[in-house]
Structure 1
Amino acid sequence: MISYIISQTQLAPKSVEQTVKLLNEDCTIPFIARYRKEATGNLDEVQIGDIVKYKSLFEALEKRKATILKALEDQNDLTPELSQKINATTDLITLEDLYLPFKKSRKTKAETARKNGLEPLAKIIMSQNANDIESIAYKYVREEIKSVEEALEGARHIIAEWVNERTDIRNGLRQQLERHGQITTKVVKAKKDDEKAQKFRDYFDWSETLQRIPSHRLLAILRAESEGFIKFKIEVDADFAISKIEQRVIKSNNACAEHISLAIKDAFKRLLFPSLSNEALQIAKEKADEAAINIFAKNLKQLLLGAPLGEKRILALDPGFRTGCKLVCLDEKGDLVYNETIYPHAPKNDSIGAIKKISSLCEAYKIEAIAIGNGTASRETEALVRKIHFKNDIQVFVVSEAGASIYSASKIAREEFPDYDVTVRGAVSIGRRLQDPLAELVKIDAKSIGVGQYQHDVDQHKLQNALDGVVENCVNAVGVNINTASKSLLSYVSGIGPKLAENICNYRSEHGSFNSRTDIKNVPRLGGKAFEQSAGFLRIKNGKNPLDDSSVHPERYALVKKMAKEVSTSVEDVIGNTAVLDQINLKNYVSEDIGLLTLEDIITELKKPGQDIREQAKVFTFNQNIKTIDDLSAGQLLPGIVNNITAFGCFVDVGIKESGLIHVSNLSDSFVKDVNEHVSLHQQIIVKVLEVDVARKRIQLKLI
């Protein structure tokens, strides 16, 4: 396993060995990355994640090997040579090729021919020594075999199967598909004018090599095909492929060669190409999935680590026209203190009443900021709010509603607000997102947040694993206040999980706030391992020990006390005291189990304990003259917010219903390898309008 992981990751052997050892001891990725740097050689979450990935792949490969070896043994087909080949295999495709000739499959043409006694004839033809093959074939005409041609056809079916099972031939065709395989599409004529088909119009007549097709294009083609708008096929130069196989197999120029040639053509058309073209498409799909999942994961990380406003009193608005704007007031902790519906827009148009209501509520509940959802009627509601002259300085933010409707109808929302309907819950979610995006977004299935490309078309198990990993890393990177965190947030803390999170919340309700990290051990079923993995990521504000509100792990508290003693002060006085901390000679504290990496981390944390790694939320204002796509024209410069990142560019909210696209070619004057190197999710930018297609509702932009 270690050798396999090293070959795939190119990481140092000792780092891999130690990481695998820690994983086998049920340590989590965040814990290993943060608190076991000496053991791993300072590997980060991504590198440790790669080790986890290839460890799982190796284990799956070994499991499949065991299954195949047992099947071969039961069939009496296992030889020492075959066993050695299987055990030496390092990839699944080669393993399945080795097993292919021994697979007990459904009834095949070759199997029928064997039962009819035609295998000896097939062997004679393959020897390529016989000249009068028809006379030889005549001897096999009996019972089920009615003619010489039937005998020769049956023999060819057996030869076709042999050709199909040859690893060198399969690898040769694989190579051709990999280098020159094309995916070609044609529109389904009956669906050509379907309105839903128009977004796939580019693929009505398309051809591209599988090797070069980008992930978003392949996933779009597969989506269009599944929805019945297009048909696609994988193509290679069949004549070239067949001639290559003939060069490998045919060594004579007699009648046998003619039959082998026919068998090769049959093998290619009926067995080899259908199987290997599907395999090539599957490999291309897996690569496309991986690329799409990576993009989604990067976007999700940026979204989760979005700038929080912090513990402020919020008035949140979920805008609407006919049904009105749902309004809620939240206290500093995000608890709901008031809710109402106002009707400032058509058809009621009670803007005066709405303004009075918002003004009075802001004064009554000492509101510090207003959060407005960015959905229907957002711009109109924002314009209304900005007309209000507040007595105090109140900041106005437009907040993404993505996934808010999913949350409002969820079990989590029903548990939090059993006495309120979905509209109130949705508005609360909008307000809480402004306070702390991470704490609120963890309550929503990450796939529903909609910050990727074709996320519903990729392997859902792989996507879920990747996104869960991102959420876990983000939650642990920020840290969690154990006395205020929701069950959803706590469940992502290293070593906790859903059941322990529920136990923590129940214990907190029954016994009140935790006063120290050691109190956490009193939670039912939270044992020593869970405490070790989670303690460093849990925060206790104003607790007995000031280190409990830092990322310093409890296993290092005695060390910090020793450091403080060295500079003749207390732990309380050393925290935040940069001048004193700089006097500590870290080399004096290096030991077998702690090195400079961990010591430097401790000093950095003591200088700024509990500091949030995220930036603070900033107010943003769209161009108030741009209300619909009809207001746009080429050449305009507009403020915008990046609201999605894909492989082919990024989408930007410029304050109207339709988002504009900055294609990769318009992100920079130089080559763009990774869109994330130029923009980040929710970044505030200036764009130039290049082109507006009102009919197709498409806007082309350029980054300024």
Structure 2
Amino acid sequence: MYSKIISSEFNIPLKQVTNTLLLFDEGSTIPFISRYRKEMTGGLDEVIIGDIKNRYQQLQDINSRRETILTTIEKLGELTDELREKIENSWDANELEDLYLPYKPKRKTRAVVAREKGLEPLAEIIFKQDNKQLEDIVFPYLNDEVPDIDTALQGARDIIAEWISEDLKARNVIRQLFEHDAVISSRVVKSKEAEAIKYLDYFEYNEPLRKCRSHRLLAIRRGEKEGFLKVSIAPDNEIALQRLIPLFVKGRNSLSDEVKYALEDSYKRLLAPSIENEVAAASRTIAEMEAIKVFATNLRQLLLAPPLGQKRVMAIDPGFRTGCKVVCLDAQGQLLHNETIYPHPPQKDLKQAVRKIETLVEAYKTEVIAIGNGTASRETEAFIRKIHFKQNIQVFVVSEDGASVYSASKTAREEFPDFDVTVRGAVSIGRRLMDPLAELVKIDPKSIGVGQY
């Protein structure tokens, strides 16, 4: 069952998919399958195998949800053969939820209150839109709880609004409109403008959702989560209503007018917010998957960067006020010496700094200098390049993302128990030039700075 769906969606031969799923059921991991079971998978690589696993899990979750929905509706005595067939044949999570929506236990909604007042038969009469006088059809429903015509009509409209919001065709029409034409908008929370300055680009922002790049969408959602932005996703209201009216408004009489009022209320109060939440969640998932792919690609490139090899390295963690921490490493990356120089303001002891660098290069036979790319990096690189060494010294600027995280880690403390975090950070900068993979595996990937920001 799952194999046929995945085979069709991924355009992969059925046998390869079936064998891959069997391996997953046996508890095999993606690395194991991609490396040691090529003969069973037909040589599928680890990326495709990972995609198959993710889709397999999604389909299993949908099937589990389907069983819950069927059991719930059956207990209510509402499970017809037609409804069962629709539910059993659906592999779309949204469609399943749409089919379940009319039977889902409801809180005390306006429609529920109206039903409790006995107004559902009135709603049914109005919804048929026969050419009848409103007063004539409403009068039988007036009582102590429904004292006047306006109260009765409002209750009937509330029920009709709920019917429209649960209608499968209406939901699909609005879902497609959101997916193709919705605009994502963000506005700054006025009372938090000063605090929200990092989200300045999104203080008054509008963009078609389909064109919103993943990094922008995630930034907007992050600003919303932090309480700085108000975010909405919506198509043009008039277009949405024009798509819905032909589905429900059948004539031009007073009853049709009531249905139209109910439809407008349904879209604004029930249908649009429901589909907006659904589309927002889906778009965020897509953006997060895109961000993960970017992160994985960048991380892979960084980890597989060619190593400098066994050369004696001087590594510098640059800074202004606190100075530049300098460490000297042997060809195996072992720490030989550490020093602090102050070539920049406020101290700006250039002569002393030059003298120390020249002495250390000579003493430890330095072949390469690695400079961290953080604060004062450009100034430090310019300072180093102005020094006339006796031999040719290569100078590299090295990413120091994650170096501070490593320097405060348990691993760094165990490796350098007698040195502070500044020394450990400088050592990390030097070692990641010598052998990026060996050094970067010590750092949590999320701290390496290879994502979309």
**1:90 is matched by which residue type in structure 2?**
W
Q: Which structure 2 residue ranges, 5 or more long, are not aligned?
A: none
Structure 2 CA distance for partners of 1:323 and 1:206, relative to 1, 3 Å: closer
The residue that corresponds to 1:678 in the other structure is: none
Structure 2 CA distance for partners of 1:361 and 1:289, relative to 1, 3 Å: same
The residue that corresponds to 1:244 in the other structure is: 243
Q: Match of 1:211, SS?
A: helix
The residue that corresponds to 2:315 in the other structure is: 316
* Structural mapping, 1:653-692, within 5 Å: none
Instruction: Give deviations 1:562-610, integer Å, cap 9, x for gaps.
Output: xxxxxxxxxxxxxxxxxxxxxxxxxxxxxxxxxxxxxxxxxxxxxxxxx
Q: Match of 2:345, SS?
A: coil
Determine the C-alpha separation between the residues in 2 that align with 1:328 and 1:198.
35
Q: Does 1:86 align with 2:79?
A: no
Q: Match of 1:315, SS?
A: strand
Determine the C-alpha separation between the residues in 1 that align with 2:435 and 2:287.
33
Give, in angstroms, the shift of residue 399 of structure 1: 0.9
Q: Match of 1:451, SS?
A: coil
Determine the C-alpha separation between the residues in 2 that align with 1:411 and 1:65.
47
Determine the C-alpha separation between the residues in 2 that align with 1:430 and 1:396.
13
Give, in angstroms, the shift of residue 190 of structure 1: 6.6
Instruction: Give deviations 1:501-526, integer Å, cap 9, x for gaps.
Output: xxxxxxxxxxxxxxxxxxxxxxxxxx
Determine the C-alpha separation between the residues in 2 that align with 1:387 and 1:263.
77
Does the aligned pair in 2 maintain the 1:160–1:263 contact within 8 Å? yes
Structure 2 CA distance for partners of 1:184 and 1:318, relative to 1, 3 Å: closer
* Structural mapping, 1:546-565, within 5 Å: none
The residue that corresponds to 1:70 in the other structure is: 71
Q: Does 1:31 align with 2:38?
A: no
The residue that corresponds to 2:338 in the other structure is: 339
The residue that corresponds to 1:176 in the other structure is: 177
* Structural mapping, 1:88-107, within 5 Å: 88-107=89-108
**2:430 is matched by which residue type in structure 1?**
G
Q: Percent of aligned pairs with the same residue?
A: 54
The residue that corresponds to 2:283 in the other structure is: 284
* Structural mapping, 1:110-259, within 5 Å: 110-129=111-130, 131-185=132-186, 194=194, 197=197, 200-201=200-201, 203-223=202-222, 231-259=230-258
Instruction: Give deviations 1:500-558, integer Å, cap 9, x for gaps.
Output: xxxxxxxxxxxxxxxxxxxxxxxxxxxxxxxxxxxxxxxxxxxxxxxxxxxxxxxxxxx
The residue that corresponds to 1:264 in the other structure is: 263
Q: Does 1:403 align with 2:402?
A: yes
Instruction: Give deviations 1:195-232, integer Å, cap 9, x for gaps.
Output: 9648634x555443222333334344445555666655
Determine the C-alpha separation between the residues in 1 that align with 2:147 and 2:79.
36
* Structural mapping, 1:190-589, within 5 Å: 194=194, 197=197, 200-201=200-201, 203-223=202-222, 231-388=230-387, 390=389, 393-453=392-452
**1:126 is matched by which residue type in structure 2?**
F
Give, in angstroms, the shift of residue 107 of structure 1: 1.0
Determine the C-alpha separation between the residues in 1 that align with 2:28 and 2:145.
65
Structure 2 CA distance for partners of 1:132 and 1:56, relative to 1, 3 Å: same
Does the aligned pair in 2 maintain the 1:200–1:224 contact within 8 Å? no
**1:64 is matched by which residue type in structure 2?**
R
Does the aligned pair in 1 maintain the 2:199–2:223 contact within 8 Å? no
Determine the C-alpha separation between the residues in 1 that align with 2:336 and 2:439.
18
The residue that corresponds to 1:46 in the other structure is: 47
* Structural mapping, 1:621-700, within 5 Å: none
Give, in angstroms, the shift of residue 112 of structure 1: 0.9
Structure 2 CA distance for partners of 1:396 and 1:64, relative to 1, 3 Å: same
Q: Match of 2:308, SS?
A: coil
Does the aligned pair in 2 maintain the 1:200–1:220 contact within 8 Å? no
Structure 2 CA distance for partners of 1:26 and 1:379, relative to 1, 3 Å: same
Does the aligned pair in 2 maintain the 1:312–1:331 contact within 8 Å? yes
Instruction: Give deviations 1:412-452, integer Å, cap 9, x for gaps.
Output: 33343333221111111101111111222222232222233
Instruction: Give deviations 1:262-298, integer Å, cap 9, x for gaps.
Output: 2112111111112113323333333333333322322
Determine the C-alpha separation between the residues in 2 that align with 1:28 and 1:143.
67
**2:214 is matched by which residue type in structure 1?**
S
Determine the C-alpha separation between the residues in 2 that align with 1:346 and 1:182.
49
Q: Please, which moves more after superposition, 341-350 or 99-108?
A: 341-350
**1:200 is matched by which residue type in structure 2?**
L
Determine the C-alpha separation between the residues in 2 that align with 1:26 and 1:395.
50
Q: Match of 1:97, SS?
A: helix
Q: Match of 2:51, SS?
A: helix
**1:62 is matched by which residue type in structure 2?**
N
Determine the C-alpha separation between the residues in 1 that align with 2:382 and 2:245.
74
The residue that corresponds to 1:514 in the other structure is: none
Structure 2 CA distance for partners of 1:102 and 1:416, relative to 1, 3 Å: farther
Q: Please, which moves more after superposition, 258-267 or 61-70?
A: 61-70
Q: Match of 2:375, SS?
A: coil
Q: Please, which moves more after superposition, 93-102 or 345-354?
A: 345-354
Structure 2 CA distance for partners of 1:367 and 1:222, relative to 1, 3 Å: same
Structure 2 CA distance for partners of 1:116 and 1:130, relative to 1, 3 Å: farther
Q: Match of 2:419, SS?
A: coil
Does the aligned pair in 2 maintain the 1:86–1:98 contact within 8 Å? yes
Q: Which structure 1 residue ranges, 5 or more long, are not aligned?
A: 455-704
Q: Match of 1:303, SS?
A: helix
**1:237 is matched by which residue type in structure 2?**
D
Determine the C-alpha separation between the residues in 2 that align with 1:68 and 1:343.
69
Determine the C-alpha separation between the residues in 2 that align with 1:244 and 1:295.
38
Structure 2 CA distance for partners of 1:378 and 1:275, relative to 1, 3 Å: same
Determine the C-alpha separation between the residues in 2 that align with 1:234 and 1:341.
53
Structure 2 CA distance for partners of 1:365 and 1:198, relative to 1, 3 Å: closer
Give, in angstroms, the shift of residue 174 of structure 1: 1.3
Aligned residues: 452
**1:289 is matched by which residue type in structure 2?**
E
Give, in angstroms, the shift of residue 54 of structure 1: 1.0
Give, in angstroms, the shift of residue 167 of structure 1: 0.5
Determine the C-alpha separation between the residues in 2 that align with 1:214 and 1:378.
31
Higher helix share: 2
TM-score by length of 1: 0.59
Does the aligned pair in 1 maintain the 2:312–2:331 contact within 8 Å? yes
Determine the C-alpha separation between the residues in 2 that align with 1:155 and 1:424.
74
Determine the C-alpha separation between the residues in 1 that align with 2:421 and 2:101.
55
